[in-house]
Homo-oligomer: A and B are copies of this chain.
């Protein structure tokens, strides 16, 4: 009786190459070769094998395959954000969409984990790599002196860093020239006649934040604009609103604000309107990252648009190359381009 209960129900057993081999009347190896397009199998045999596999509904057991040294056909992404912040940012969903597109065309899948901090993220990468769940990884939210970079280098995990080469160590970077975008924006605002431009930035410590901070300060100096405070936030609408309120109440308030994402820009727009300021007459607003959101508000926001989907796709393509050839060149994507809309104009008076 015990033996019966230990036996798997027949329906539950999934067909293996051995089953196919028995049906066709050849060895396991021939079946394996036939199904994998390896040479050494006659067309007739191959056809019979394929037919039998089809009929049995055969699916490769990738565990067994992996055990014999095959690829995992997956890459990992540990997204390090407090859960609360995830929903608000369109950026990552679009990025993931782009990554996914390329991966699934190559029959790769994406292992995704949302983690609260970088340590947990590193842990996820380590586990995936150790367990051979993934062949490569994508690193986002690059911080200055990011501890994950040397750790991943040491692990030998093929990794693409979404972020500036300066912080990527020997890992392969995929990035866009944020400094150029800041410069372009500042020149545009200066040309409109703005003298006091403020910046509502994202998290300090992130490489791209400080790159933009830098470029912002430099542009102010070069263009002879008055130094305005840079306010750092956590990217949420709430903090964007608070930062805006503070800026607009300060003496010598700015006539233009550059926001580090569109959520904050929209929040800032609301605050300005609430305070009785007209946009763009009294305040010009520029959003970093363009999304439908930036276009549906009134006035529609002048934004630094970039094709995030393509950005993700390029990262995935680079990673696939890295996984396959063990090496790949970094990739510089297009710089975000300024898309003027109704939220920017010369300052009144």
The reply to whether the CB of A231 lies closer than 8 angstroms to some CB of chain B is no
Determine how many copies of this chain the complex contains: 2
The contact string, 1 if C-beta is below 8 Å from chain B, for chain A 44-87, is: 00000000000000011111101100000010000000011011
Q: How far is the CB of A224 from chain B (nearest CB, A)?
A: 34
Q: Are A97 and B86 in contact (CB under 8 A)?
A: yes
Q: Are A292 and B309 in contact (CB under 8 A)?
A: no
The reply to whether the CB of A287 lies closer than 8 angstroms to some CB of chain B is no
Q: How far is the CB of A72 from chain B (nearest CB, A)?
A: 8
Give Cα distance in the complex from A130 to B241, angstroms.
49
The contact string, 1 if C-beta is below 8 Å from chain B, for chain A 95-134, is: 0111011001000011111110000100010111011110
Give Cα distance in the complex from A95 to B298, angstroms.
29
Chain B residues whose C-beta falls within 8 Å of the C-beta of A14 in the assembled complex: 130
Contact of A241 among B59, B62, B66, B296 (CB under 8 A): B296
A window 8-55: CB within 8 A of B:
11-12, 14
* Residue of A60, A92, A114, A296 with most chain B CB atoms under a 10 A cut-off: A296
- Sample 19 A-B pairs with CB under 8 A, ordered by A number: A14-B130, A60-B130, A63-B132, A67-B67, A74-B111, A83-B97, A84-B309, A86-B96, A88-B90, A88-B293, A100-B114, A101-B114, A109-B111, A109-B113, A110-B111, A237-B293, A240-B296, A267-B296, A270-B297
